[in-house]
Amino acid sequence: MNDRVPAVRASLLRSMLAGLESLGGDGIKIRRALADTSLTAIECAGALVWLPVELHLELSHCMSKELGRDQFRRLVQDAMRRAYLESSGHRLVHMAMRMFGLDPGSLARFLPSIYGALFRACGEWTVERLGRSAEGDEAIATLVLDGLPAVCVGDEIWRDGLASCVFSLLVLADADGEVEVDAVGLEQGWVRFRMSWRSEDRVASGEPR
């Protein structure tokens, strides 16, 4: 597959399918909702194979329709965690965490590595701002994914699932927080996320976008 064609690792899609096994009848309905060619492409591909990102959209839509937003996001979070742990990129992140004890804001610098292990030609991440809430009890990071293909940036369910990729920073840092889509530039091809977490540590501020 051409390097410029938006793609997703087969390991992520296979991990998402594996997560359906514990759902019983709901999982079976989702598998049946997928096109036969899509299901075959996912199950027959090696873990490191790049598959068209449209397969990720199709599977995400089937899961969200059957499970609802909250359960869909939880399953995607679990699937991304499993797929990322199988990649080579996680070793660098965990080595840095052991050495420096990074919090979610500091881990944000590794988001391109985390994302790049699972997606290709699907945009680039930047950290727009690090700061604190007005009350001072929450740390906040604003992250932007720019250069997204139209098929992705215009898909609300795909953007919602992508928030799970950002949420992985909280999971890696064992932090209590949340991630939400803050703004979308449909014509420009970008999505901005707001990640917040409980923190008593000082957070350095950056310049806003």
Domain annotation covers residue 153: yes
Q: Kindly report whether the global pTM for this prediction surpasses the value 0.85.
A: no
Domain annotation covers residue 91: no
pLDDT confidence of residue 99: 65
pLDDT confidence of residue 86: 67
Q: pLDDT, tens digit, for every residue of 146-167?
A: 999 999 999 999 998 889 878 8
Q: Report the domain count for the chain.
A: 2
Asked whether the predicted pLDDT for residue 50 surpasses 80, the reply is: yes
**Structural domain boundaries enclosing 31:** 7-85
pLDDT confidence of residue 125: 93
Domain annotation covers residue 203: no
Q: How many helices (H) and strands (E) does the chain have?
A: 10, 7
pLDDT confidence of residue 6: 95
Domain annotation covers residue 2: no
| Residues 115, 163 share a domain | yes
CATH number at 119 reads 3.30.1360
Minimum mean pLDDT range among 5-9, 84-88, 132-136, 190-194: 84-88
